[in-house]
Amino acid sequence: MFDHKRFKLDKSYRMSEISNYIQEVFDEEDTIEEKQLTESLFLNNDNVYFNTFIRLKNEQKEKDPHYHILRQIFEKEWNNFKLKYRALLTRDGINVSIERMLRCQDPDEGYLTYVCPHCQKTKTILMTCKSRFCPTCGKKAREKQTLNVTRKLANVPHRQLVFSVPYDLRNYFRIYRDTMLNSLFTTVDETINSCMTRHSPLATKNEKRRLGFVSFLHTYGRDLKWHPHLHVLIAERYMKDDNKLHKFSYFSYEYLRKTFFNKLLHNMYYALKKLLKENLTTKTEINKFYKLWQELKIKYKDGYYVYGPRLKSFKDENTGLTLKTMKALTKYVARYASHPAISESRILSYDPIKHLVTWYYEPHEDDNKEESEKLGKQIITESAEEFIKKLIIHIPDIGFKMIRYYGFYSQASKIYPNEDELIMSEKDYQIRKRNITFETLMMQTFGYSPFLCSCGHRMFLDMDKSNIPKTRRLSNYGIM
């Protein structure tokens, strides 16, 4: 795989890549690519030459049949799937997300044309769909979400907690999706807050003590099965009416497991009773759940899975996490809110004639095992229809909040950390926010600027040659 960072730093790697590229591409005299590279090389400007080569290398990669393989699968299979499985497509979020993804970078949906003022070369940028299901559009959404979450965090040690729904209950989260997922958020909120009440009930009430945490909903595991669970990023501090941060770092996992499990069953039961009043379920279903409740209390007498190791990467007990570490952690837990359930790199092949998809996953069970004991990469070959079914159940409903803030991190909280106690200042936040543009993301991801011409001059937007729908915001492309 081409490494654009190594290309700029490692001369031997650079010469090898250039030699291979010339052998692959320059099979005809005076190709456009050869002219562009030769022109930028004679400028004796490494940045221009590097930029031109990396751009051409990426454009070559886009011609690979495997490129955008997820979109290829849906382009070929989606219409027939819609006709055959209408009962699975009752949620608007599924249809809207996929239809938008299929129109991503369609010239009819708009484009921007950039022109070099020196040599008059042009560059056309097709507008993207901004769908949460689209692999192409996910990076910008993740960067924005990561930045917004990081901006709220206090510069103190944090812990990541994971609360999972037992297998026996997961089907209820499929049938009564939003209601039960909201109950899961509520249950985790109540469970974490009860830790503070349990620790010092009177002081918590009188001093209005609050923990601060952010919850991130994930609905799948590596095997793509329906597995709703929450990742929680929690500060090892609490705040009270003096508006100061105070240390709170002890969490009893035995207590968390039991409390979370009991509260979850309780909240699910009363959520079903509320649905009954709205004629969205039946008394038979509620009685069935109540019976299951009693059985699970015996089966899981010690509660259910809650995992929360203390993060090892903060600088020390007083100074907290580095900005780089916190951003990396936040990006890890926030990534599911803005991309499909599987990355395209895990899709090994698609056969449009036999309608088969081959993909793989690495089992969670292997994470802490010796190499000789690992199950190894699990390769799955299945029909395209089954593959699509697995993906679409994880598409969230329109407007459903996958990331939520609680305690002193909540927007509604009357107590919150002072500006100098946050890991990121408002000034730094605004600078970073402005820098999340099409060009900066292309630089970060692929290593080149699409607007640096091979002649060494910067291209500029030509509004007359562009097609810009009224619904588009030019600021998304770095244009104010």
DSSP character string of 214-256: EEEEEEE-TT--EEEEEEEEEEEEEE-TT--EEE-----HHHH
Could you tell me which of 164, 140, 182 has the C-alpha nearest to residue 220?
164
What is the structure's pLDDT at 372? 76
147-183 CB burial, b ≥16 within 10 A, e <16: bebbbbbbbbbbbbbbbbbeeebbebbeebbebbbbb
Convert the pLDDT of each residue in 228-252 to its tens digit. Answer: 999 999 999 999 988 899 999 888 8
Could you tell me which of 391, 395, 411 has the C-alpha nearest to residue 337?
395
What is the structure's pLDDT at 145? 84
What is the structure's pLDDT at 189? 96
**Residues 255-280: what's their mean pLDDT?**
95
What is the structure's pLDDT at 298? 93
Convert the pLDDT of each residue in 72-88 to its tens digit. Answer: 999 999 999 999 999 99
What is the structure's pLDDT at 314? 45
Convert the pLDDT of each residue in 224-234 to its tens digit. Answer: 999 999 999 99
**Residues 103-119: what's their mean pLDDT?**
91
* Percentage above 90 pLDDT, the chain: 46
- Mean pLDDT across the chain, nearest whole number? 85
Between 176 and 16, name the one with better pLDDT.
Answer: 176
What is the structure's pLDDT at 393? 95
Convert the pLDDT of each residue in 370-387 to its tens digit. Answer: 777 788 889 999 999 999
Give the chain's count of helices (H) and strands (E): 16, 12
Question: Based on the number of CB atoms within 10 Å of its own CB, is 320 exposed (0-12), middle (13-18) or buried (19 or more)?
Answer: buried
What is the structure's pLDDT at 315? 42
**Residues 439-449: what's their mean pLDDT?**
86
Convert the pLDDT of each residue in 33-64 to its tens digit. Answer: 666 666 555 455 678 878 888 888 887 777 77
Look at residue 475 and tell me whether its pLDDT is greater than 60. no
- Of the pLDDT bands very low, low, confident and very high (cuts 50, 70, 90), residue 65 is low
- Of the pLDDT bands very low, low, confident and very high (cuts 50, 70, 90), residue 317 is very low
Indicate the helix (H) or strand (E) that contains 196: helix 177-199
Convert the pLDDT of each residue in 120-177 to its tens digit. Answer: 999 999 888 888 788 878 777 788 888 888 888 998 888 889 999 999 999 999 999 9
The tokens describing 274, both together, are 């509320």
- Of the pLDDT bands very low, low, confident and very high (cuts 50, 70, 90), residue 416 is confident
- Of the pLDDT bands very low, low, confident and very high (cuts 50, 70, 90), residue 327 is low
Q: Give the highest mean pLDDT range of 9-18, 72-81, 368-377, 415-424.
A: 72-81
Instruction: Give the angle 215-216-218 at the CA atoms, nearest 5°.
Output: 140
The tokens describing 145, both together, are 């979400």
What is the structure's pLDDT at 241? 85
Look at residue 303 and tell me whether its pLDDT is greater than 60. yes
Convert the pLDDT of each residue in 334-393 to its tens digit. Answer: 666 667 889 888 999 999 999 999 999 988 777 777 777 788 889 999 999 999 999 999
What is the structure's pLDDT at 439? 87
What is the structure's pLDDT at 310? 59
DSSP character string of 60-78: HHTTSTTTTHHHHHHHHHH
Q: Rounded to whole angstroms, what are the CA distances from 370 to 131, 361, 373, 375? A: 40, 18, 5, 10
Q: What letter does residue 372 receive in the DSSP assignment?
A: G
* Percentage above 70 pLDDT, the chain: 85
- Of the pLDDT bands very low, low, confident and very high (cuts 50, 70, 90), residue 304 is confident
- Of the pLDDT bands very low, low, confident and very high (cuts 50, 70, 90), residue 395 is very high
- Of the pLDDT bands very low, low, confident and very high (cuts 50, 70, 90), residue 473 is low
Look at residue 111 and tell me whether its pLDDT is greater than 70. yes
What is the structure's pLDDT at 168? 95
Convert the pLDDT of each residue in 196-228 to its tens digit. Answer: 888 888 888 888 899 999 999 999 988 999 999
